[in-house]
Structure 1
């Protein structure tokens, strides 16, 4: 068996499915075929600590966000490249990331 073939590909969600899911994650937005949210933390050290907290759940889900760090701002972008857009995996990770952010004092939108 070819090791590059992925078993059980996750299906891309329709626009209506995406909009329905976004109701539960109001701070996240759809940007083209990606989910995105910017988190504002107290300072650079807190931003890096927040990013470090994303490693374990990302590894557990085998799904990794694109991250942009700009001093105290962390922009998280999620997309399932194999599916060519947004899938349930993206929403699962977005939900976990939102929960992590809620536990950090001083985290804003």
Structure 2
């Protein structure tokens, strides 16, 4: 099982990611696209890296806006896996 990160570690890692914010025990990323099709295309790009990592984000799609949330559910908070996936997602957008 992955190890929970300390508050200090979370803040340090979050400071290295642009556009991600801490919301409770998750980190979130919001991106707005030109339309629904572009938003869904972005979500589809997340499938392969999420499957490869065995770590799947929570997703909300509202027309042209996508909200991605990451947390390691089985540990009850944030781990290295979340920040590694956040880096991957940031590189796609």
Bin the TM-score by the shorter chain: over 0.9
Aligned partner of 1:35 in structure 2 is 27
Superposed displacement of residue 23, structure 1: 1.1
Deviations along 1:58-92, whole A, 9 cap, x unmatched?
00000000000000000000000111101000000
**Which TM-score applies when normalising by structure 1?**
0.84
Any gaps of 5 or more consecutive residues in structure 2?
Answer: none
Any gaps of 5 or more consecutive residues in structure 1?
Answer: 1-8, 102-109
Aligned partner of 2:56 in structure 1 is 64
**Which TM-score applies when normalising by structure 2?**
0.98
Instruction: Report how many residues are paired.
Output: 93
SS class of match (2:67): strand
* Residue number among 46, 51, 55 corresponding to 2:47 in the alignment: 55
Structure 1 segments of 4+ aligned residues over 3 angstroms from their partners:
none
